[in-house]
């Protein structure tokens, strides 16, 4: 069965350029999360979508970061004017319902972003 997929798997960009990362959640999953995983650090919550409700953007580190999701389908995370400190693995996860530890989050393989 199809799991969470992310594209691209790797992205190298120059400082100052914009990048767009894509996440395809598992079909039927209403909740979707974006995380950032920097080298040697834990997963850092970025944003959460639940169905058609307003997203929880409380984890976005700056206004250069934004994300969209249409309904319960694909989500895109956009980073504008990338900086070297944006280099990280960006992970997407989806779950059937609202976030709860017993509601398993299924993670994608991540997009490895390197900003030169």
Partner 1 sequence: QKEVEQDPGPLSVPEGAIVSLNCTYSNSAFQYFMWYRQYSRKGPELLMYTYSSGNKEDGRFTAQVDKSSKYISLFIRDSQPSDSATYLCAMSGTGNQFYFGTGTSLTVIP
Residue 88 near residue 38, CB atoms below 8 Å = yes
Contacts of 53 (CB under 8 A, 6+ apart): none
- Which of these ranges, 11-19, 61-69, 72-80, 91-99, lies near partner 1 under the rule CB under 8 A? 91-99
The verdict on 107 binding partner 1 (CB under 8 A) reads yes
**Across 14-83, where does the E strand assignment appear?**
19-24, 31-37, 43-50, 65-69, 75-79
The verdict on 101 binding partner 1 (CB under 8 A) reads yes
The verdict on 102 binding partner 1 (CB under 8 A) reads yes
- Interface residues with partner 1 (CB under 8 A) are 4, 35, 40-45, 48, 56, 58-59, 91, 93, 98-102, 104-110
């Amino acid at each position: 069965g199809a799991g969470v997929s992310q594209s691209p798997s790797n992205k190298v960009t120059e400082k100052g350029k914009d990048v767009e990362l894509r996440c395809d959640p598992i079909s039927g999953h209403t909740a979707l999360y974006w995380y950032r995983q920097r080298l040697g650090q834990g997963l850092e919550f970025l944003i959460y979508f639940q169905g058609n409700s307003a997203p929880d953007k409380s984890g976005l580190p700056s206004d250069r970061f934004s994300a969209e999701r249409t309904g319960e389908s694909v989500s895109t995370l956009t980073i504008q004017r990338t900086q070297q400190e944006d280099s990280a693995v960006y992970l997407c996860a989806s779950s059937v319902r609202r976030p709860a530890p017993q509601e398993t989050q299924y993670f994608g393989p991540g997009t490895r972003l390197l900003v030169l």
